[in-house]
Amino acid sequence: MSDLAISQVLAQMRDLQSRIGGIGASGAGPSGSLEGLQGTQQGPDFATLMKGQVDSVAGMQNSAKMLADAYESGDKSVDISRVMLEVNKASIAFHAITEVRNKLVDAYTQVMNMSV
């Protein structure tokens, strides 16, 4: 990797570091490392984010089910195209969250099978 490419990567890292923590490159530490970011701005934990996404997918599924029920009962304000779109969006979201769950279970299994 050339010196120019390394300089560009370092500049991007410093820019991201200043955006994340509001810390300039001079406040990060003696060598511009990420030491200054430890202990600053804690975001929500992973469990909270995952629960929020699962709740969001459940909401999408409930919404799609209500639209489908309304269409089936003869509600003239509901289009079949809208119903199909919402059902497909809910299905894709469900498959995505299932894949995330599968990857988490796989990662957990791999970590538990590691020898210490």
Q: Give the integer Cα–Cα distance in Å for 99 and 29.
A: 39
| Mean per-residue pLDDT over the chain, rounded | 81
Q: Please state the rounded mean pLDDT for residues 45-50.
A: 87
Better-predicted residue by pLDDT, 3 or 93: 93
Q: What is the maximum span of the chain, computed from C-alpha positions, in angstroms?
A: 69
Give me the pLDDT at residue 18, please. Answer: 75
- Helices of type H across the chain: 3-21, 46-72, 80-113
Question: What is d(CA 96, CA 79) in angstroms, rounded to the nearest whole number?
Answer: 26
Measured CA to CA in angstroms, residue 41 lies from 22, 30, 33 at distances of: 9, 21, 17
The structure's pTM equals 0.59
**Which sign does the torsion angle of CA 4, 8, 10, 14 carry?**
positive
Please, which pLDDT band fits residue 28 given cuts at 50, 70 and 90?
A: very low
**29 pLDDT higher than 90:** no
